[in-house]
Amino acid sequence: MAGDSLTSGQYIQHHLQNMVFGKLPEDVVGEELCNGVIVEQAGWQLASCAAEAKAMGFWSYHVDSLGWSVGLALIFFFAFRHVAKNVTTGVPGGFQNFVEMIIDFVNDSVRGSFSGKNDIVAPLALTIFAWVFLMNFMDLIPVDWLPMLAQQIGAAFGADPHHVYFKVVPSTDPNVTFGMALGVFWLMLYYSIKIKGFGGFFGELAFQPFGKLGMPANLVLEGVSLISKPVSLALRLFGNMYAGETIFILIALMYGGSLLIGTFGGLLQLGWAIFHILIITLQAFIFMTLTIVYLDMAHTDH
């Protein structure tokens, strides 16, 4: 794809655009939202460009992000379930040993950061770490392989290949990262109210750190601190993975140049991929650790 008729800017935009399924409103029929493409009908359909995706509004779906997120979650579930059903007490096999190492690592993280008692925290931490790591790991697949396959499948069904978009790294989609962060945020609120009661939870927001006389300032400070937790959780993961994906795309552009530039691009890609292994693991660890810490704060007094 890097060497086709797309310009460098179009190539980058194409790789950063999601496959969006949504409802085009009636008022855009007959308009030229995409370059040279007239909208012929409204209703539910795949967007042909970013302008059509924008016109579909909030209630649209990123098919690629949702598909890969669910698919990777199923891979994690069935792989760990297979090990759990076939676990042996003797010398473990290679994959069982690998899974046990991950579980021990997560358990150590929970013991070190969570002081309360809640049986859901360790399984939740394990799920977050494995799921986020698998989503991040998709960034190590060469950027053209799966999008080109999607274009060929789309062309077989009569679609214009240039209007077939396919992102394969769910964690580069802010909808995915904010969805996970809001799930953690909901658990924070639930356990804060369950453990402390509504009065105790509101008291932390209203009376800290300046006491009862500083209630307005307390609410502002604690409210900002509370809201910033899911926002920072989502944006940290999204920002790091989006930047990493963009660098891979920029390196892929070098393959469309001369042999020397393409060879240099291959070396850069190898070096960045090796370094990126650390990044994708670190981001999964950070998301897991912050989740544990936030739930620990929900279980303890101010």
| Residue-by-residue DSSP string for 218-235 | HHHHHHHHHHHHHHHHHH
Answer yes or no: is 19 within a domain: no
Contact assessment for residue 139 and residue 280, using Cβ atoms and an 8 Å cutoff? yes
Cα–Cα distance measured from residue 246 to residue 139, given in angstroms and rounded to the nearest whole number: 10
- Residue 111 designated active-site: no
Cα–Cα distance measured from residue 66 to residue 60, given in angstroms and rounded to the nearest whole number: 12
Residue 155, amino acid: A
Cα–Cα distance measured from residue 66 to residue 44, given in angstroms and rounded to the nearest whole number: 17
**For 266-272, which contacts have Cβ atoms below 8 Å and span 24 or more sequence positions?**
272/244, 272/247, 272/248
Cα–Cα distance measured from residue 156 to residue 256, given in angstroms and rounded to the nearest whole number: 26
pLDDT tens, N- to C-terminus, the chain (302 residues): 544 567 888 899 899 999 999 999 998 888 888 877 788 889 999 999 899 999 999 999 999 999 999 999 999 999 999 999 988 777 778 899 999 999 999 999 999 999 989 999 999 999 999 999 999 999 999 999 999 999 999 989 888 888 899 999 999 999 999 999 999 999 999 999 999 999 888 888 888 777 777 778 888 888 899 999 999 999 999 999 999 999 999 999 999 888 999 999 999 999 999 999 999 999 999 999 999 999 999 998 76
Give the pLDDT of residue 163: 86
Question: In angstroms, what CA-CA distances link 223 with 208, 209, 215, 244, 280?
Answer: 11, 12, 11, 32, 31
Looking at 60, 192, 218, 240, which residue is catalytic? 240
Contacts of 73 (CB under 8 A, 6+ apart): 131
Structure token digits, residue 175? 């909808």
Pairing relation of β-strands 20-24 and 61-62?
antiparallel
Alpha-helical regions (H) of 114-214:
121-137, 145-156, 174-207
Cα–Cα distance measured from residue 251 to residue 258, given in angstroms and rounded to the nearest whole number: 13
22: three-class secondary structure by DSSP: strand
Cα–Cα distance measured from residue 147 to residue 151, given in angstroms and rounded to the nearest whole number: 6
Give the pLDDT of residue 7: 84
Looking at 115, 218, 236, 258, which residue is catalytic? 236
Answer yes or no: is 106 within a domain: yes
Strand partners, 24: 43
Answer yes or no: is 185 within a domain: yes
Answer yes or no: is 134 within a domain: yes
Structure token digits, residue 139? 């960034």
Answer yes or no: is 33 within a domain: no
Give the pLDDT of residue 230: 96
Contact assessment for residue 209 and residue 218, using Cβ atoms and an 8 Å cutoff? yes
Structure token digits, residue 130? 């494995």
Cα–Cα distance measured from residue 297 to residue 192, given in angstroms and rounded to the nearest whole number: 8
Domain count across the chain = 1
Structure token digits, residue 240? 């790091």
- Residue 18 designated active-site: no
Answer yes or no: is 23 within a domain: no
Domain that holds residue 142: 64-299
Q: What share of the chain is helix, strand, coil (3-state, %, to 5)?
A: 75, 5, 25
Alpha-helical regions (H) of 37-173:
50-55, 63-85, 94-113, 121-137, 145-156
Give the pLDDT of residue 3: 45
